[in-house]
């Protein structure tokens, strides 16, 4: 963003001379009389003025323009650039996504896992230079994408995620521990995990609270997101007669998820539909961006020579025109 300020702005009051000089010039032209006597000018009354006659005020206009620019130059105009240094390299984020079979429940549209993927893509699009990685888990866990700033590659790998890629179950502790391992050696000023799940930990060798303690040790903040409507959710079941739906209870360990968030200075969110899930990611996005260190700066560039140079050009044009094309006889 650029602005213009003046170091000696009091000189700008001299611009009040310009209207006064204009009035003086006007009355001087009205009162001027020719030294050559004519009997009558009526025969020339219908003649159109020549180009020279129309341009006879050009030298005065050029001098006034030069005077305005010189006054501005004396006021020392300065171009001021405002900006901010944003330490975006200070944020590493790992998305830990539950892909267990229960994520196929259709209380979200089209289902939980696809809704989570769509919102995660929007979240990725909202970041700029942050490194983002992707960890998936169900009965076990693996890294789908390491930390990267290559967002097109990350989003392509996210689109390939689907339920059934790995053994079924809900190993929340293993998934969280895997995400922590992606961040523990990071030198970033802010390290964040967004853990999304719809169930209760029932698999894996690592307890979720133990994994949270490891995250806490490394100073990694964990935002936990529990997905699932209140009550029962429709779940597709394959039968010999095609797909049938049965209502299954939403079994979500909110106490555990809230404890993980509290231990790591994060926050727990509950998503019951697509809209609330989208708003949750927006809230996380806002919270993380507000933690970025910002330093404002202001730079000045002197513009004296720009204005003085243009004024000199106008004066040279005035001299050239006044002594050639618009030259007056004594």
Q: What is the DSSP string of 217-248?
A: HTT-EEEEEEE--SSEEEEEEEETTEEEEEEE
Which of 96-100, 124-128, 321-325 is predicted with the least confidence, judged by mean pLDDT? 321-325
> Is the Cβ–Cβ distance between 84 and 321 less than 8 Å?
no
30 domain-assigned: no
pLDDT, one tens digit per residue, over 222-279 is: 999 999 988 889 988 888 888 888 888 888 999 999 999 999 999 999 999 999 999 9
Higher pLDDT, 243 or 43: 243
For the ranges 21-25, 36-40, 168-172, 297-301, the maximum mean pLDDT occurs at 168-172
Over the chain, what is the mean pLDDT? 86
234 domain-assigned: yes
- Residue 240's CATH number: 3.40.50.410
pLDDT score, position 176: 98
pLDDT, one tens digit per residue, over 194-223 is: 999 998 999 999 999 999 999 999 999 999
Distance CA 289, CA 297 (A): 19
- Same domain? For 213 and 227 the reply is yes
- Same domain? For 207 and 147 the reply is yes
Could you give phi then psi for residue 91, rounded to 5 degrees?
A: -125, 120
- Same domain? For 66 and 162 the reply is no
27 domain-assigned: no
- Same domain? For 158 and 170 the reply is yes
29 domain-assigned: no
- Same domain? For 202 and 328 the reply is no
26 domain-assigned: no
pLDDT score, position 184: 93
β-bridge pairing 232-239 and 221-227: unpaired
- Same domain? For 124 and 261 the reply is yes
Structural domains of the chain, count: 2
Helix (H) or strand (E) holding 177, with range, is: helix 172-183
pLDDT score, position 279: 95
- Same domain? For 181 and 269 the reply is yes
Print the domain residue range for 317: 1-21+51-87+296-330
71 domain-assigned: yes
- Same domain? For 63 and 175 the reply is no
3-state secondary structure of 266: coil
pLDDT class of 296 with cuts at 50, 70, 90: low
pLDDT, one tens digit per residue, over 264-294 is: 999 999 999 999 999 999 999 888 766 554 4
- Same domain? For 63 and 154 the reply is no
Could you give phi then psi for residue 50, rounded to 5 degrees?
A: -75, 170
- Same domain? For 104 and 82 the reply is no
- Same domain? For 7 and 68 the reply is yes
42 domain-assigned: no
Whether 171 has a pLDDT exceeding 90, the answer reads yes
Mean pLDDT score, 34-46: 55
Mean pLDDT score, 186-190: 86
pLDDT score, position 68: 92
pLDDT score, position 11: 87
323 domain-assigned: yes
- Same domain? For 60 and 104 the reply is no
pLDDT score, position 78: 84
pLDDT, one tens digit per residue, over 63-106 is: 899 899 999 989 888 886 655 555 555 689 999 999 999 999 99
């Amino acid at each position: 963003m650029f602005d213009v300020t003046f170091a000696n702005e009091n000189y700008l009051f001299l611009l009040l001379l310009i209207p006064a000089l204009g009035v003086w010039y006007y009355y001087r032209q009205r009162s001027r009389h020719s030294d050559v006597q004519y009997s009558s000018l009526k025969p020339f009354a219908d003649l159109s003025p020549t180009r020279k006659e129309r341009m006879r005020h050009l030298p005065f206009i050029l001098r006034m323009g030069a005077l305005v620019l010189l006054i501005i130059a004396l006021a020392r105009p300065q171009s001021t650039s405002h900006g901010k240094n944003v330490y975006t390299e200070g944020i590493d984020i790992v998305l830990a996504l539950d892909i267990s079979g229960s994520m196929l429940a259709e209380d979200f549209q089209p289902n939980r896992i696809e809704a989570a993927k769509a919102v995660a893509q929007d979240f990725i699009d909202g970041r700029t230079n942050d490194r983002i990685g992707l960890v998936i888990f169900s009965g076990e866990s693996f890294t789908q994408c390491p930390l990267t700033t290559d967002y097109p590659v990350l989003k392509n790998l996210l689109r390939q995620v689907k339920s059934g890629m790995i053994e079924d179950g809900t190993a929340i502790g293993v998934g969280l521990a895997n995400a922590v391992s992606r961040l523990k050696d990071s030198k970033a000023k802010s390290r964040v995990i967004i853990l999304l799940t719809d169930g209760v930990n029932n698999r894996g060798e690592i307890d979720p609270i133990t994994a949270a303690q490891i995250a806490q040790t490394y100073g990694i903040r964990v935002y936990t997101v529990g997905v699932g409507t209140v009550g029962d959710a429709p779940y597709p079941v394959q039968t010999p007669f095609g797909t049938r739906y049965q209502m299954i209870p939403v079994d979500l360990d909110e106490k555990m998820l809230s404890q993980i968030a509290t231990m790591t200075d994060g926050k727990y969110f509950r998503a019951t539909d697509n809209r609330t899930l989208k708003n949750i990611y927006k809230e996380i996005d806002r919270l993380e961006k507000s933690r970025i260190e910002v330093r404002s700066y202001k730079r000045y560039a002197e513009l004296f020579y720009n204005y003085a140079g243009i004024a000199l050009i106008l004066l040279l044009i005035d001299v050239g025109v006044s002594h050639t094309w618009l030259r007056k006889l004594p």
